[in-house]
Amino acid sequence: MATRKKTADLADVLFPTKDEQDFAESILSIPPEQRKLHTETYDFTVETLVEKLDDGSAFIPNFQRKYVWSDSQASRLIESLIIQCPVPVIYMNQEQDEKLSVIDGNQRLTSISRYLKNEFVLKGLTAYPELEGNRFHELDPRFQRHIQNRTLRCIVILKDTHPQVKFDVFERLNTGATKLTPQELRHGLYYGDLIREATQSVSSSHLLSMLDIKVDKRMKAEELVLRFWSLDEGFDAYRKPLATFINDFADKNRALNPQKKAALKMSFQAALDAVHGLFGDLSFRIFGKDLKVQSTFNAALYDALMIGLSRAMKGKGIKVMSSAHACQVLAGLIADDAKFRRAISVATSDDAQVKYRVTAITEAFGN
């Protein structure tokens, strides 16, 4: 039995449970009366939609995947408009300034806009092969008007919808070949001063090298900065799920004054420097008393070290110790404190788990 428990404890460390993106749980954390999705349906003409994209009243946010359709795929869509074949619904989000961001429909809208701007010729048509090789301006004016007057059904998620409900809808519509990460969704839904500061903090710090990431294509480091800020500022009020907690923080802090920007940047850099100074290349990694790495980056340990040391600095400061001694102290926590080991490996977003691991680090390294 003892051997089985040891292997189970090791498995907990090496194979942490990923329960932090439980979107169903996120929705259930909202009062029932706020879980409703508020929408309006519009039938916009093709001409109107292209005009909206051109004047900026509608836009494709930068979290959307890049345009990938071939000219043949785009041509088939134009042909569908001509033969009045139904086109799938386009989903949009109403921003606070009334602009409409495209949630689902980027490829379709971009294809239509490109054709009306004469950026490609029709090719690969099956219903009207006679139109092959024509740009928009080369079509008979009657075809041009027919395309421009076609209506596309657009469902707009209104701005009075609860932000977490919007986030859940984004996730449900996130069905591309490469699914967007929660941070990529967050980047589009809550974009503002806080997101920009997170991006800047990543580029101006050595976080990427500490994570051993050369190019952060999926915004992992940016999410970790937001994760630190939200927990550092709201630690005592933390309630799971963690994804919702970060979302709420991002939504409330879209607009920041210069003083808040400076304070956030300073708090993150100070905590990161403290971690690196104590643990060096072993930062955020699970390792044994022999200092051999057992598991690479661990997000729960990241919380414990960043928030724990930040809280220590806000108190009486961090104990003076060598890096070698600090690594042995942490290795001891991981090896000998079953509650700490569990807090960085199982149900890591639970309130008690977050608070235990952070408090354990504050007590171990704080004066």
- Lowest-pLDDT range, 24-28, 267-271, 326-330? 24-28
138 has a pLDDT exceeding 90: yes
Q: Based on the fold, state whether residues 207 and 318 are members of the same structural domain.
A: yes
Q: Based on the fold, state whether residues 175 and 135 are members of the same structural domain.
A: no
Q: Based on the fold, state whether residues 102 and 212 are members of the same structural domain.
A: no
- Cβ neighbours for 320, distance < 8 A, ≥ 6 positions apart: none
31 has a pLDDT exceeding 70: no
Among 142, 160, 178, where does a domain finish?
160
CA dist 15 and 33 (Å) reads 37
Concatenated DSSP letters for 95-155? -TTS-EEEEE-HHHHHHHHHHHTT-S---S-SS-GGGTT--GGGS-HHHHHHHHH-EEEEE
Among 160, 185, 205, where does a domain finish?
160
Q: What token pair was written down for 28?
A: 């259930």
Q: Based on the fold, state whether residues 212 and 274 are members of the same structural domain.
A: yes
Predicted confidence band of residue 6 (pLDDT cuts 50, 70, 90): low
Q: Based on the fold, state whether residues 181 and 211 are members of the same structural domain.
A: yes
Q: Based on the fold, state whether residues 198 and 330 are members of the same structural domain.
A: yes
Instruction: Using a cut of 0.85, tell me whether the model's pTM lies above it.
Output: no
Residue range of the domain that includes 83: 38-160
Q: Based on the fold, state whether residues 63 and 187 are members of the same structural domain.
A: no
Q: Based on the fold, state whether residues 156 and 179 are members of the same structural domain.
A: no
Helices (H), 253-322: 258-279, 299-314
Q: Based on the fold, state whether residues 26 and 58 are members of the same structural domain.
A: no
Q: Based on the fold, state whether residues 169 and 195 are members of the same structural domain.
A: yes
Predicted confidence band of residue 178 (pLDDT cuts 50, 70, 90): low
* Residue that the structure tokens 């190019």 belong to: 215
Cα dist. 43→103, 143, 149, 174 in Å? 16, 20, 11, 23
CA dist 362 and 326 (Å) reads 13
Number of domains in the chain: 2
Q: What token pair was written down for 50?
A: 């292209």
Q: Based on the fold, state whether residues 28 and 109 are members of the same structural domain.
A: no
Among 160, 194, 225, where does a domain finish?
160
Q: Based on the fold, state whether residues 212 and 349 are members of the same structural domain.
A: yes
Please, what's the largest Cα pairwise distance for the chain? 82
Predicted confidence band of residue 163 (pLDDT cuts 50, 70, 90): confident
